[in-house]
Amino acid sequence: MTCSNKTRPGVRGLVAALALGAGLLPVACRAPRGGPWVSPRPVSVGAVADANLALPGTPGLPDPATPEACRGRRRDLARAAGDGLLLFAGGSEPERGRFLAQDDFHYLVGACGQDAVLLLLAEAGELIEVRLYLPAFDAHHERWNGPRLAPGEAATRQTGISDTRPLDQLAGDLDALLGTAPPLTAGRAATTICYAAGTALEIIEERGHSATSPRELLNPLQAVKSAGEMDALRAAVRITCASLADACAVALPGAFEYTAEAAIEGGFRRRGAAALAFPSICGAGPSTCILHYRENGRRLADGDLLIMDVGAKYLHYCADVTRTIPVNGRFTPRQREIYELVWQAQQRAAAALRPGLTLRDIDRVARDYLQQQGYGAAFMHGVGHHLGLRVHDVPGFRGPFQAGMVVTVEPGIYLKEESLGVRIEDDYLITEEGAELLSGSIPSRWDLLEAYLAKIRVNSDSPAPPSQPME
């Protein structure tokens, strides 16, 4: 995904015919003359395995936010804060859709914190108070919405936090800790609020206090991934690449951009991803030049290129991979010319990845190359971004790389007057020696990509889907 702000993830309706079992790829079937379009049929993964793609199925990995890991993270955060009150809201139940805990809350607590608040009190770098405020048990709510974590022994077992309290006690406790009532903690009141959100923020603002962001405190803690975090992130990348393979198999002339989108997002769910890292971009023809294209509704034409910029979110960790493919399986000479320039720019930039450099340094490598080729003005976004709990993760564009960070490299060329856009994006783990490519299971070099498409499109003379979307 191009280097800019990503907002709320949204999931379009999935085509039921693509909801096949994990480990199967959908391939379109020929329809009888004049008859209805036949839903894609499952094909064994052999063709895809031959194309050097390992399908993960549902990874089933343990959540890296274990009680022990979260306890250490809270201690590290207190050490970074020095003195202060830190409040993290778990997120409110959505009116529609599946609840996913707020990323920072999950990072520090691990539990699904629906309407919950974590309170931390630090003094001289020591964590002296840890409280988890949860909604009281509500039988009516559970009857309609299912179980929700409530104060008590079950919450303590799940989180490792011994002090769990009803959410309606938070206001009074904050009054005490902020000095507007007798302090509750060893005769001391907190003098600094590092962060507050949701219910806690409302209460604090009502009392005339302000909150500052904890990002400066959290950034160094979240930038370098632990082994468990990398397992989750690798799984997110594998799920993304396998689902991109599903889309490559059905993104044929006559299909629609949303045909690819449905294959991708259905593949995410079949393989265990809880959410999208960001709204999927599947743009063909002129849409390849719209960086954050959202419609995903155009019909795919013979001769189009199709940009698929997508990412699964697995155990709160994000992937972000982009492939630009020829819809008919073969690049035209002009498409190949532009594609090779982008590929060369990406290879040069990726080869420069190493500890101590920054994304700005890597951007310069790709930008200088494209400038020398006469296409510098057509590269309109940053070369990449960090990946982690957020798709645009810390430390940002200026921070130096350290071993254990994960970044994307995604140069592009966009020629609006030719309706020709190309972007190639891969995910890399920074190592002590350089970088490790995480998303190489779908090839990006033009000739290998054409061969790959030929292998996974088992039924190469598949017909066009219906001229109008199904009702």
Cβ proximity of 418 and 287 under 8 Å = no
- Residue range 321-327: mean pLDDT, rounded: 98
Q: What is the DSSP letter of 256?
A: B
Highest mean pLDDT among 86-95, 175-184, 190-199, 343-352: 343-352
Count CB atoms within 10 A of the CB of residue 260.
31
Residue 348 or 210, more confident: 348
Count CB atoms within 10 A of the CB of residue 215.
14
Domains delineated in the chain? 16-59+226-456 (3.90.230.10), 67-223 (3.40.350.10)
First to last CA, the chain: 31
Residue 18 has pLDDT above 50, yes or no: no
| Four-residue CA torsion sign, 410, 55, 15, 265 | negative
Which DSSP string corresponds to 18-44? G-PPTT-EEE--PPPTTSPPPPPEEE-
> pLDDT of 55-83, one tens digit each?
444 457 889 999 999 999 999 999 999 98
Residue 20 or 141, more confident: 141
E strands, 94-192, where? 117-123, 126-134, 164-166
Q: What is the DSSP letter of 230?
A: H
Residue 248 has pLDDT above 70, yes or no: yes
**Predicted local distance difference test score (pLDDT) of residue 179:** 72
Q: What are phi and psi of 74, to 5 degrees?
A: -65, -40
pLDDT range class, residue 16, cuts 50, 70, 90: very low
Count CB atoms within 10 A of the CB of residue 438.
23
CA dihedral 176, 103, 69, 433 (to 10 degrees): -130
Query: What is the CA 295 to chain-centroid distance, rounded?
Result: 19
Query: Residue 425's closest CA among 324, 274, 340?
Result: 324
Q: 28 CB contacts (<8 Å, ≥6 apart)?
A: 38, 40, 250, 252, 255, 459, 462, 463, 465
User: Taking the model in full, what pTM does it have?
Assistant: 0.84
Length of the chain: 471
Of 150-164, 234-248, 389-403, the poorest mean pLDDT is in 389-403
Residue 328 or 51, more confident: 328
Highest mean pLDDT among 105-109, 137-141, 174-178: 105-109
**Predicted local distance difference test score (pLDDT) of residue 304:** 98
pLDDT range class, residue 138, cuts 50, 70, 90: confident
**Predicted local distance difference test score (pLDDT) of residue 413:** 98
- Residue range 7-15: mean pLDDT, rounded: 33
Distances (CA, A) of 144 to 115, 147, 273: 16, 9, 25
What is the 3-class SS of 317-346, one letter each residue?
Answer: EECCEEEEEECCCCCCHHHHHHHHHHHHHH
Q: What are phi and psi of 165, to 5 degrees?
A: -135, 155
Residue 470 or 374, more confident: 374
Q: How many CA atoms lie within 13 A of 121 on its CB side?
A: 19
β pairing state of 312-314 and 317-318: antiparallel
- Residue range 207-212: mean pLDDT, rounded: 80
**Predicted local distance difference test score (pLDDT) of residue 135:** 92
Of 187-201, 363-377, 440-454, the poorest mean pLDDT is in 187-201
- The fraction of the chain above a pLDDT of 70, given in percent, is 80
Query: Residue 156's closest CA among 65, 67, 64, 63?
Result: 67
From CA 36, how far away is CA 19, in angstroms rounded?
19
**Predicted local distance difference test score (pLDDT) of residue 369:** 98
From CA 334, how far away is CA 262, in angstroms rounded?
29
E strands, 108-246, where? 117-123, 126-134, 164-166, 193-195
**Predicted local distance difference test score (pLDDT) of residue 168:** 92
**Predicted local distance difference test score (pLDDT) of residue 253:** 97
**Predicted local distance difference test score (pLDDT) of residue 58:** 44
The rounded mean pLDDT for the chain is: 83
Bridge partners (DSSP) of residue 166 are: 134
> pLDDT of 33-62, one tens digit each?
333 222 333 322 223 333 333 344 445 788
Q: Is the peptide bond before 395 cis (omega within 30 degrees of 0)?
A: yes
- Residue range 400-406: mean pLDDT, rounded: 97
**Predicted local distance difference test score (pLDDT) of residue 348:** 98
**Predicted local distance difference test score (pLDDT) of residue 95:** 58
